[in-house]
């Protein structure tokens, strides 16, 4: 098991997480949603703890315990005082590797997850976002929703779930990420008490992904909603690329704040939208950048034309010196402020450690951002922002939209 420790002296708490290479990309067609479903079931009890025992033990520390599933990974994590670190480690190891996965719990949680999928289907903004990935990457696993298929969740058996758990919850493939007032040596000794042997990151990740081919498809979904939810996206760098620094600057200036170009134009000057923001997704093999928001149906055509015009001008003309320097300061400030949270640092480190088996220092990333020159960033924008985009629209009046695949 790989271990990464981010020493954060002067803190009384420790954030500790397990990161496993199991998500939508590891699922076959008849397994879609099992990673997320299994994440739910892990909390229903182990061989030595019931679900109530887990809750009582965590509540007794004053800390918290949580989890999430993404396309590429599943994470279980907790934040507690340093004195309770061994307890949260014990709970994490126990529930992750020794869950009971009983039929009663499966039937109970099956309804919960189906309800979550139904809630997603009632959220046109979330549908538009997921379908943007499908517009860009088609049927590739990277474009899947982690919630999965209703049919799979409805019919999956205990035996199939146990088999999936055994195949993917492998200690040797897990990364432990810790951030707080502790050290690698201290954590290694604590892991040893639980029979877990750890080693440092070595830069050799076993995770392999084949980058999907980007295609600028146009997809629309008819929904009886008050607004049209839109996402425009284009290719971005993979998570190991240094060009993430350039993308941070590009997206910050374009639509990453209330002073950004698109926010100022579409909301402050034109009054067409309430919210418009950026999409940035960096995975092991590729990335996706984009703009998303919502607009009343009667303003859709005008806002679309302005959005495409501004993207075209952005590509052709680039940015000003003042815009670049303001974006640099914003990225530096927001990044450093976010890294004051040991949970945020633990999570960032864990993702990078799992996918790359290395964790570039945050100052290294900020340093690259601060070194970017105006001529270079404008050339980068010209070469990166395309003339054509993958587009996802969800809303009323989408049927028959020219050039769009509609359902």
Q: According to the model, what pLDDT value does residue 399 have?
A: 82
The helix/strand/coil state of 32 is: coil
- Euclidean distance between the first and final Cα of the chain, in Å? 45
> 281, 250, 239: which is closest to 376 by C-alpha?
250
Helix (H) or strand (E) holding 139: none
- Are 375 and 191 in contact by the 8 Å Cβ rule? The answer is no
Res 401 pLDDT > 90: no
Beta strands in 8-123 (DSSP E): 13-20, 64-69, 74-81
Taking a C-beta distance cutoff of 8 angstroms, is the pair 180, 11 a contact? yes
CATH of domain 218-406: 3.30.830.10
User: Can you tell me whether residue 229 is helix, strand or coil?
Assistant: strand
The single-letter DSSP state of residue 61 is T
How many residues are given for the chain?
407
Q: How many CA atoms, within 13 angstroms, populate the side-chain half-sphere of residue 337?
A: 6
Distances (CA, A) of 18 to 59, 65, 75, 81: 20, 12, 5, 18
pLDDT reading at 6 higher than 90: yes
Average pLDDT over residues 277-284: 95
211's tokens: 């980058």
CA distance 107 to 79: 30
pLDDT of 116 over the 90 cut: yes
Contacts (Cβ under 8 Å, ≥6 apart) of 287: 235, 236, 237, 238, 239, 241, 247, 280, 281
Task: Give CA–CA dist 25/144, Å, rounded.
Answer: 8
Delimit the domains of the chain by residue range. Answer: 2-193, 218-406
Distance CA 101, CA 94 (A): 13
pLDDT, residue 175, reads 98
Percent of the chain clearing pLDDT 70 (strictly above): 100
CA distance 276 to 156: 39
CATH 3.30.830.10 fits 2-193, yes or no: yes
DSSP-derived secondary structure for 289-331:
EEEEEEEEGGGHHHHHHHHHHHHHHHHHH---HHHHHHHHHHH
Structure tokens at 85: 């670190």
Q: Looking at residue 291, what is its pLDDT?
A: 97
pLDDT category at 367 given cuts 50, 70, 90 is very high
Condensed to tens digits (0 to 9), the pLDDT of residues 376-392 reads: 999 999 999 999 999 99
The band of 206, judged by pLDDT with boundaries at 50, 70 and 90, is confident
pLDDT of residue 400: 79
Q: Do domains 2-193 and 218-406 have the same CATH topology?
A: yes
Token output for 333 = 């400030």
């Amino acid at each position: 098991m790989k271990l990464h420790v981010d020493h954060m002296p002067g803190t009384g708490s420790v954030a500790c997480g397990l990161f496993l290479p199991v998500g939508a990309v590891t699922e076959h067609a008849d397994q879609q949603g099992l990673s997320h479903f299994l994440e739910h079931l892990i909390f229903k009890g182990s061989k030595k703890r019931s679900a109530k025992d887990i809750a009582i033990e965590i509540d007794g520390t004053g800390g918290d315990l949580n989890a999430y599933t993404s396309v590429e990974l599943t994470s279980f994590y907790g934040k507690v005082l340093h004195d309770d670190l061994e307890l949260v480690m014990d709970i994490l190891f126990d529930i992750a590797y020794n869950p009971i996965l009983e039929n009663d719990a499966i039937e109970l949680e099956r309804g919960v997850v189906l309800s979550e999928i139904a809630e997603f289907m009632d959220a046109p903004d979330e549908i538009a976002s997921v379908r943007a990935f499908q517009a860009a990457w088609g049927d590739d696993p990277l474009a899947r929703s982690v919630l999965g298929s209703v049919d799979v969740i409805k019919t999956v058996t205990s035996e199939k779930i146990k088999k999936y758990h055994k195949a993917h919850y492998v200690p040797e493939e897990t990364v432990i990420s810790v951030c707080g007032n502790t050290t690698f040596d201290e954590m290694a000794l604590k892991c040893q008490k639980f029979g877990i042997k750890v080693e440092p990151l070595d830069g050799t990740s076993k995770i392999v992904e084949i980058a999907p081919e980007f295609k600028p498809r146009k997809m629309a979904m008819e929904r009886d909603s008050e607004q049209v939810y839109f996402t425009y996206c284009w290719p971005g760098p993979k998570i190991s690329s240094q060009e993430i620094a350039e993308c941070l600057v590009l997206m910050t200036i374009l639509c990453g704040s209330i002073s950004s170009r698109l926010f100022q134009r579409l909301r402050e000057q034109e009054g067409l939208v309430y919210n418009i923001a950026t999409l940035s997704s960096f995975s092991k093999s590729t990335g996706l950048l984009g703009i998303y928001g919502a607009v009343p149906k009667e303003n859709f055509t005008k806002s679309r034309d302005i959005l495409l015009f501004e993207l075209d001008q952005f590509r052709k003309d680039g940015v000003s010196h003042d815009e670049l320097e303001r974006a640099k300061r914003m990225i530096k400030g927001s990044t450093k402020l976010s890294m004051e949270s040991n949970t945020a640092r633990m999570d960032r480190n864990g993702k990078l450690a799992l996918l790359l088996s290395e964790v570039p220092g945050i100052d290294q990333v900020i340093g690259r951002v601060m070194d970017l020159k105006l001529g270079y960033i404008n050339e980068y924008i010209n070469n990166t922002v395309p003339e054509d985009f993958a587009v996802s629209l969800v809303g009323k009046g989408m049927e028959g939209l020219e050039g769009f695949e509609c359902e």
